[in-house]
Structure 1
């Protein structure tokens, strides 16, 4: 029963036929290793800019705002680290396929 069910459904598109339907087009960007590397670079640049803005805060900002910016910097670097790890595993998967 399992082989009949597996062969009776629709097949996954390959090559340029991926671009013919909208849902399949979304999977192209989701599994692209280059996309993950570029996104990790953007996250890193945003993290560095947020840290620079926090360091260069002038008088007039309250202590609470400073702590909120420190928390934003910490979370930005955590997200950057997670995205870099995801990009590395994406590259490993891409190389093995």
Structure 2
């Protein structure tokens, strides 16, 4: 058990951009935005699969942007439940992005298998790469947020 004086809390203000793992919000937003743009601009061979990828990329982009803005505005001051909220959000985003990255890779493979010369195939490949990078960043953020939550 940790003593009350050794609790680890979330940073506030611009300190969010200087502390690890909270600085990971920036690559999460960048990679998520790239996935969103690339999937939106590519050919959609399997609407159900790529619809999920679009939902995940838009949802996680908005969630990460809102959390970052709330932390910068110090809305979480004086409340210990924000550390738990951070773990829940990062865990959900990591799981969602893992599923989205795998489904986008599958859709890209199917498109290439059916018609290797299809237009927009490069956008799908780039979306797969950035989806897996976003997954990696979210998983790292989740692990670090979980460690912070356990120590608080």
**TM-score calculated relative to the size of structure 1:** 0.64
> CA separation in 1, counterparts of 2:151 and 2:134?
26
> CA separation in 2, counterparts of 1:36 and 1:93?
12
Partner of 2:86: 32
Pick from 105, 113, 125: which aligns with 1:70? 125
Please say if 1:56 is aligned against 2:110: yes
Q: Which has the higher contact order (CA 8 A, sep 6+)?
A: 2
Q: Deviations over 1:54-94 (max 9, x none)?
A: 000022623xx111111110000001000000000000100
**Moved beyond 3 Å, runs of 4+:** 12-15, 28-31
User: Larger Cα Rg: Structure 1 or Structure 2?
Assistant: 1
**What is the RMSD of the two structures over their aligned residues, measured on CA atoms?**
2.4
**TM-score calculated relative to the size of structure 2:** 0.43
Q: How many residues align?
A: 73
